[in-house]
Amino acid sequence: MNMEEEAKARWGQTPAYKQSQERLAKYSPEDIEEAAQEMHAATLQVLGAMQRGLPADSEAAIAGAEAHRQAISKWWYDCTFEIHTGLAEMYLADERFRNNYEDQAEGLAQYLRDATFANAALT
């Protein structure tokens, strides 16, 4: 099963999945690239805070986590804090996601998870 099939099987009945599919159907290849760049920029914000040795609950790390959540909301689906923390847990639990972050910097998956939870705690 490829990732698209897996996503549909796991989340196909959720409002977030349906919203993401509706949005995706309207996007050009340029839109997809812009979305990817915006997500990457948010990840780089978090990575920058981590590389500066700031704690995951620092203002800079939380700002990056919020930029990450906002990019998801802008491009894919309304990403509540609850959804975002669930995603952050998945980034650690699912090797494919974890490796994506760990390939950028060792410890980034955990740091992003922690920054995401710190961001959600502010609400």
- pLDDT tens digits, residue range 19-41? 988 999 999 999 999 999 999 99
Q: Which amino acid is at 93?
A: A
Q: What is the pTM of this model?
A: 0.89
Query: Does the structure show a pLDDT above 90 at 114?
Result: yes
Whole-number Cα distances in Å, 35 to 13, 39, 53: 23, 6, 28
Which amino acid is it at 81? F
Contact 114, 83 (CB under 8 A): no
- Cα 100 vs. chain centroid, distance in angstroms? 11
At residue 9, does pLDDT exceed 90?
A: no
Domains and CATH numbers, the chain: 29-121 (1.10.490.50)
Per the structure block, which two tokens stand in for 30? 């340029």
Measured CA to CA, the distance from residue 119 to residue 32 in angstroms comes to: 26
Q: Residue 16 has what pLDDT? A: 84
The pLDDT tens digits for 48-102 are 999 999 999 999 999 999 999 999 999 999 999 999 999 999 999 999 999 999 9
* Separation in Å, CA 117 to CA 11, 27, 42, 49, 113: 22, 30, 16, 15, 6
* CA atoms of 79 and 107, how far apart (whole Å): 24
